[in-house]
A = this chain, B = another copy of it.
């Protein structure tokens, strides 16, 4: 009913987010009703409006639950820089992709954001977040490729800027296909192999 402890309130909040995740995925964001979501979470629309204000607020709160692959890869690249740049990129991506593949919640969230919602004006906050993450990972990749070039490990055929753009598009494309659900490949397997295949192309010496 009402004013349970702070922790219980947080639990209902989480339950509402879980419910939204489920209903959004099945019916799409636009067709999902707040009542359906609330009922799925075992409460009423009152709780939704209390915690999130309106539907957009609920959606944006759900969006923030999604850890972006870009951020993870960037974090891993920026952390410990022991191995050679290209190898380091490959490992960061491999680890991040594997983690993503083993996290069904993230997959569901990604599916919602990419296939179950319409990006009109009011969704701007969610889009902005992805835009910034894209720009950040792009810069990070470019830096790594630059350092590889300085060490004489990058083929002159692949200027850092182009290599970074290529890699970003490649992963984005694979991710999209993977999310369709009919994919006959795995992230940890074929996609990581493809990434390493590309990085080998950009290297003057083969990757270890």
Residues of A participating in the B interface, judged by any CB pair closer than 8 Å:
26-31, 115-120, 131, 157-158, 162, 165-166, 168-174, 176-177, 180, 182, 185, 190, 193-194, 197-198, 200-201
Across the interface, A165 reaches (CB within 8 A) one of B118, B131, B162, B194, namely B194
| A190 interface neighbour in B165, B171, B182, Cβ under 8 Å | B165
Q: How many monomers of this chain does the complex have? A: 2
Which B residues are in CB contact (< 8 Å) with A174?
A: 169, 173
User: B117, B182, B201: which contacts A131 (Cβ < 8 A)?
Assistant: B182
Give the most central of A116, A165, A171: most B CB within 10 Å: A165
A84 to B49, CA, bound (A): 63
**Once bound together, how far apart are the Cα atoms of A162 and B174, in whole Å?**
12
Bound Cα distance from A176 to B118, whole angstroms: 15
Give the distance in Å from the alpha carbon of A169 to the alpha carbon of B170 in the complex.
6
Residue of B nearest to A169 (CB): B173
